[in-house]
Amino acid sequence: MGVTLKAIAEKAGVSPTAVSFALRGKNPGKRKLSEHTVERIRQVALDMGYRPNGIARRLVNGRTLSLGLVAWSADRIEEPLFPKFLKGIGRACEDLGYSLELSILYAEQDNHIDRFLTRVLREKTVDGYVLIFVDEINEEDLYRLNAINVPLVWVVRHPLEKSINNVRVDTERGYYLATRHLIEQGCKRVAFLAGDLSFQADLEALMGYRRAIKEFGLPDDSSLIAEGNYRKVPSLQAARKLLDATPRSDGIVAANDISAVQVLNVCNERGLSVPQDIAVIGHNDTALAEMVEPQLSSMHMPAEQMGYDAIAYLVNICKGQNEQTGCVKTFTPELVVRRSSNRKSYG
Amino acid sequence: MGVTLKAIAEKAGVSPTAVSFALRGKNPGKRKLSEHTVERIRQVALDMGYRPNGIARRLVNGRTLSLGLVAWSADRIEEPLFPKFLKGIGRACEDLGYSLELSILYAEQDNHIDRFLTRVLREKTVDGYVLIFVDEINEEDLYRLNAINVPLVWVVRHPLEKSINNVRVDTERGYYLATRHLIEQGCKRVAFLAGDLSFQADLEALMGYRRAIKEFGLPDDSSLIAEGNYRKVPSLQAARKLLDATPRSDGIVAANDISAVQVLNVCNERGLSVPQDIAVIGHNDTALAEMVEPQLSSMHMPAEQMGYDAIAYLVNICKGQNEQTGCVKTFTPELVVRRSSNRKSYG
DNA sequence: TTGAAAGCGTTACCAA
DNA sequence: TTGGTAACGCTTTCAA
């Protein structure tokens, strides 16, 4: 179809080998070509509009120099953290000289996981995969996934097995830090607006919250806990329930910024001032946190760095510089204090 | 490296040809193999853990069955619309049997465009590209881009030339509709909180706003226009300027939801009620619109559909079913009325 | 019906 | 130093 090395070679009166070396420049291997020849070959290639065929190159090199990113759930790519992961992932690919193949799994399509497992993943097209947002996978699919002998790194997943390469967040510590922060601001009764306690991640969060509560001797009461499912309407209801309870809490740790904002709204309804009457902290530090009044404290996720490191880790595995034995990289969320929990500066 | 067709052929005592046909199933070509042989070959392949080499397949087929998505600006992938485009793009790729290669251009890296143009784009690795967010490109880069003879479709770009395949939004009409909506709600003096009027898109927006203003005989005054740069702080200042002017406006069209929310905040500061005193409408219909109180009316972008259509269009070009002559697909934003502009239902 | 062999475009080895 | 040539893994044509 296009212009090939051979065609250039014929026109320039040299061998394809010479063309290959000339065009790659910088003396790959130890081949010497006269400056003059190189220049002529370059000119011919330019004239003919030559574009190297990356596919042929990948075939002969035996490595694709390409990595796959699999978004296990199409819905979750609309979460604010996803583009941040993607940014880090893309940057790492660029830095390390890989290209990135993105697959999105659409739950509403029939057998989407099955199709992916057999058509995409089994076809050798990339050197390895980063899997993101795998919060649900059945035993059989997991088995099939592992049976395919290809380097995998999992990011932000529902914990499954120890034998998996994993880039994760220390959720327990994140909630511990958030809760401790409210206590340090003087809160005496701190509530927890969770997402969905049937998820493993939420249980870890609960543990972190409880650890702080106990450490400082605050009341540990099931009436202090409600679920908002990470979404607006149920969080609003949960926030009302928490704020209308007696005795009332004076601090709330929320599972994400959306639910924390609902707490702010209810405080507004009830005439409670934030942070004086109620101190509030969200989770994930999304753009929303800076949009609301008062601005929302939140736990920041180093998503871009996590994405970067996931790729770097995957590349190591691909190059065989790393055993594939369930190494785990853990990141800790960082406390970002804004007005909603800052009693000291804003009184 | 891995298990090849040849290896399977030897083990099964047949030819590589037979294996190739057997594993692809469904009688590609008109070849007949006995059920029994096919079954045996399949079993051997399974036992040996065979994974077809997609790269070799791509090479011999002459088409990569792969498309590139180029995010011209890494920062803009954090905009709420990007994941929606991506969702449509990914779905189209899935439906049409293509894989997707994502490239992100990081402005902070030296010669990022240059590197992309020479290393990535010139390397034949995909059949064609969708370019997104190209709001700045110099003459020389544009020339080099077009000189590479590869199918391109541009999405959400700064308009440059007529000869470009383009999927775009009818910005003028979007702002016309938004403005007209406020007028229909009874507004007599409508202001425009723009982004940055040095951008072409903002000029189109201004034209749409003005068209509606003039059509209904409302005042057309430069004091009704301010720039907020799409960002929080400058939008807040611009909103104050607009709302403190005399005579005061009773309706504001904003260039995005972030700036519209700043209008809400200022109304709150000034004790103005929304929508009774001031009706407000944003743009892009992001998640933020439903988060604030009162909920924000906005112009909805059919981003997912645009992404889908961009890929479908690109595939047509790749298959040669479409001449590459600057065809343009235009989408119209849809009015989404929420409380911030709805005087009739909420009084 | 089946298999051998040519070819896809590139790289790398090995003679010359 | 140079260029022919084999090889990468697959598909497809052509001959048996």
pLDDT, tens digit, 9 for 90 and up, residues B42-84: 888 888 889 899 999 999 888 899 999 999 999 999 999 999 9
Asked if the structure places residue A57 within a domain, the reply is: no
Q: Say how far apart CA B285 and CA B301 lie, in whole Å.
A: 7
* Residues A322 and A341 both lie in one domain: no
Q: Is the CB of A52 under 7 A from strand C?
A: yes
pLDDT at A347: 46
Q: How far is CA A328 from the centre of its chain?
A: 14
CATH code for the domain in which residue A12 is found? 1.10.260
Distance between B166 CA and the closest CA of chain A, angstroms: 23
pLDDT at B347: 46
**Closest amino acid to nucleotide D7 (CA–C1'):** A60
* Residues A156 and A275 both lie in one domain: no
- Residue ranges of the alpha helices (H) in chain A? 5-12, 16-24, 35-48, 54-61, 81-96, 112-115, 139-147, 171-184, 200-215, 232-244, 257-270, 288-291, 303-318, 343-346
User: Is there a contact between A101 and B66 if contact means CB atoms under 8 Å apart?
Assistant: yes
Q: Which of A77, A87, A258 sits opposite B291 (nearest CB)?
A: A258
Shortest-distance nucleotide from B7 CA to C1': D9
Share above pLDDT 70 across residues of chain B, in percent, rounded to a whole number: 94
Averaging pLDDT over each range in B26-30, B54-58, B238-242, which range is the top one? B238-242
* Residues B253 and B160 both lie in one domain: no
- How many CB atoms sit inside 10 A of residue B171's CB? 23
Q: Which of residues 52-81 of B touch strand D (CB under 7 A)?
A: 52-53, 56-57, 59-61
Give B163's pLDDT tier (boundaries 50, 70, 90). Answer: low
Rounded to two decimals, what is the model's pTM? 0.94
* Residues A161 and A175 both lie in one domain: no
* Residues B100 and B223 both lie in one domain: no
Share above pLDDT 90 across residues of chain B, in percent, rounded to a whole number: 65
* Residues A255 and A342 both lie in one domain: yes
Mean pLDDT of A48-61: 90
Of A139-148, A203-212, A288-297, which range is least confident? A139-148
Instruction: Tell me the pLDDT tens digit for each residue of A276-335.
Output: 999 999 999 999 999 998 999 999 999 999 999 999 999 999 988 666 667 778 999 999
* Residues A93 and A191 both lie in one domain: no
Report chain A's terminal Cα–Cα distance, integer Å. 72
User: Is there a contact between B148 and A59 if contact means CB atoms under 8 Å apart?
Assistant: no
Amino acid at A250: D
Q: Say how far apart CA B268 and CA A294 lie, in whole Å.
A: 13
pLDDT at A36: 80
Amino acid at B53: N
Instruction: Tell me the pLDDT tens digit for each residue of B89-105.
Output: 999 999 999 999 999 99
* Residues B160 and B273 both lie in one domain: no
Q: Say how far apart CA A107 and CA A76 lie, in whole Å.
A: 11
* Residues B195 and B339 both lie in one domain: yes
Q: Quickly give B32 CA vs C2 C1' distance in Å.
A: 9
Domain count, chain B: 3
Full residue range of the structural domain in which residue A202 is found: 171-301+335-346
Q: Which of A53, A77, A94 sits opposite B106 (nearest CB)?
A: A94
Asked if the structure places residue B58 within a domain, the reply is: no
Mean pLDDT of B145-151: 87
Asked if the structure places residue A15 within a domain, the reply is: yes
